[in-house]
Amino acid sequence: MICFLSVKQVCKDQRQYYESLLVYSRKHLMLYPYHLSDFMIRGLRVTPFAYYHGMMKDIMSQEKSYDSLPNFTAADCKFLPNMKPSGLS
């Protein structure tokens, strides 16, 4: 039997849950949670660029090298600044 629960059913404060998820993800150098981007961007106002900018700032302040990032996270960090809004050439 599969049971699907929403965040509201598990945690009383939905905002606090997503904030702690972002803190954990950033601390462990994880990819931006794109599957939750509706709430992350609208509710918390944390864009992928802001997320990776903060992550890179943390790495530099700890004097770690770029090589300390996992491969997929590093690729996402590198790709993100080159994105253009759709409709612009």
Q: Is 29:43 a contact under the CB 8 Å cutoff?
A: no
| pTM: predicted TM-score of the whole model, two decimal places | 0.76
Question: Over the range 19-54, which residues count as b (16 or more CB within 10 Å of their CB) and which as e?
Answer: eebbeebbeebbebbeeeeebbeeebebebeebbee
Q: Is 35:7 a contact under the CB 8 Å cutoff?
A: no
Region 4-8: mean pLDDT is 67
Say how far apart CA 75 and CA 32 lie, in whole Å. 12
Q: Which residue has the higher pLDDT, 57 or 88?
A: 57
Does residue 83 register a pLDDT over 60? no
Does residue 46 register a pLDDT over 90? yes
Does residue 87 register a pLDDT over 60? no
Say how far apart CA 31 and CA 6 lie, in whole Å. 22
Does residue 34 register a pLDDT over 50? yes
CA dihedral 36, 37, 39, 42 (to 10 degrees): 180
